[in-house]
Amino acid sequence: MWMPQLSLSWLGLGPAVASLWLFLPLAGASCLLAYILVQGYTAYEISQRLRCFPQPPKRNWLLGHLGLIQASEEGLLYIQSLVRTFRDVCCWWVGPWQPVIRIFHPAFIKPVLLASASVAPKDTVFYSFLKPWLGDGLLMSTGDKWSRHRRMLTPAFHFNILKPYVKIFKDSTNIMHAKWQRLASKGSARLDMFEHISLMTLDSLQKCVFSFNSNCQEKPSEYIAAILELSALVARRHQRLHLHVDLLYYFTWDGMRFRKACRLVHDFTNAVIQERRRTLPDQGEDDILKAKAKAKTLDFIDVLLLSKDEHGKALSDEDIRAEADTFMFGGHDTTASGLSWVLYNLARHPEYQERCRQEVRELLRDREPEEIEWDDLAQLPFLTMCIKESLRLHPPVTAISRCCTQDIVLPDGRVIPKGAHCIGKEREGPGQRVGPACSVCLDCLTSSTGVICRISIFGTHHNPTVWPDPEVLSLYSPIWHSPTRSFYLLQVYNPFRFDADSSKGRPSLAFIPFSAGPRNCIGQTFALSEMKVALALTLLRFRVLPDDKEPRRQPELILRAEGGLWLRVEPLST
């Protein structure tokens, strides 16, 4: 019987080829159906295993909890309500497939955060947005490559390397203060702390990383503008689910701007590396670098050029660029956020501000402010307590994510099941390149619905079972009000939480502004040192006063304030 609907003879194809053309769509549909069934079964199996974890009400079965937490003041208040309700952990669903375990308590954070980097690696969903910019630096790399680079870069943050950076911190802070003096020449100045301090930390980093003075605090810099734009673009992309697909994103205006800014940043870093290599002779490169180290004039690029692993292998130019770009990204925004919020907290508590100021004055006595040195930074206990309490209330990074390649048992016996995404298992062996194990493997097809562990730094720092009286409920607030709620949470800023007596018995993971465990922040000593120098000099020269309008917190890549964090500064008499 002739069946015209199945005949492809009009295309000039024989029966065998025609059968193949008919088979391919059927095979594709079958594979898609099989994939959906596997995904559905895996999601069901994991959801059954996660029934032991409580969860807040969902929006609906399709969206799950997606959209309930926004990057806003209300979003942070919602997280605080989750902490007060669940205390330690809860289950969260992003759509119908993706489970997220949100953890708010040090005892439950410990088995995840202190697990080896291979057992609890970073979740790659968000970090993949940074990959084109930061490459395979410490923030992005995994497996053996991460371990090797971590060992090689650790000496770059030894105090002997960091000591000379104090002069750079002072110089950059002095430039910022000179601007403030000009702006406040008629009495006081109202300033956006994020704007001024971000430029100051970027200025410091360019000098510490590249020995390059861009004068970015005084005049525009294309390189600095590109870094600021990249940070903003990544934060915006994270909030827009339809832009998570690379193919779509790079056809958008944001995607094109992202690529252009990446090229500018990479070209700058590559040019510095190549110029530095050209200034070193073919012979005796190590001797020259070691002489610079002895003279304490090493910058970060020098340390990277000098670094060798246990087999004597140095970093490639691509590796050096990735680490330098990572340090520039991770080192400016977090420090600027931490310093801006501590100035905000001290402005709201003038008694603590004055005590910090007197502590710095007594330390320096007859010395000029510019004479503050590395060894002085350890002699400022109250100022350090004020910084730590501010980092507790306003951690620059509010949360971090991990995946689980093995079942992780929590203190109460509940289990976070393994089955995370194929996050790039490392191949090892002669002649094999270390990198992602596959594009499509059986593990990916059968376990792509994995559990993401969302360790809430902000939630842990505000957990009332860990920190007594972390906030006070205040009715009818002029600061924050919504049609459904007529109260807000007043943050209790109490630096004495960090004195020796109060800290006794507190879990070590109760305070984790720089994360903890194998993948903690390698630059935390650098960041704290810069914050201490900048804060000490600021308090010696200015009185910081609160603005009339209370800021609304905005957690993006780092914790910001909507529309800027505005404070007033008044120059102090000499």
Annotated binding site for heme: 521
Query: Using N-to-C axis directions, what is the helix angle for 165-183 and 524-541, rounded to 10°?
Result: 40
**What is the C-alpha to C-alpha distance for residues 368 and 164, in angstroms, rounded to an integer?**
18
Q: How far apart are CA 222 and CA 214, in angstroms?
A: 10
Could you give the CA distance from residue 65 to residue 59 in angstroms, rounded to a whole number? 6
**Residue 158, Cβ density class (10 Å: 0-12 exposed, 13-18 middle, ≥19 buried):** exposed
Distance CA 77, CA 398 (A): 13
Run of H or E residues at 399: strand 399-403
Q: Looking up tokens 């956006």, which residue turns up?
A: 192
Tally of CB atoms within 10 A around 93: 20
Pairwise CA distance, residues 384 & 374, whole Å:
14
Distance CA 158, CA 146 (A): 19
Q: With H, G, I as helix, E, B as strand and everything else as coil, classify residue 401.
A: strand
Q: Are 414 and 53 in contact (CB under 8 A)?
A: yes
Number of H helices, E strands in the chain: 21, 13
Count of alpha carbons within 13 Å of 261, Cβ hemisphere only?
A: 25
With beta carbons less than 8 A apart as the criterion, state whether 475 and 468 touch.
no
CA distance linking residue 544 with residue 347, whole number of Å: 5
CA–CA dist 402, 108 (Å, integer)? 13
Residue 225: CB atoms within 10 A of its CB come to 13
Secondary structure (3-state) at 103: strand
Residues in the annotated binding site: 521
Return the biggest CA–CA distance within the chain: 108
The secondary element (H helix, E strand) that includes residue 492 is none
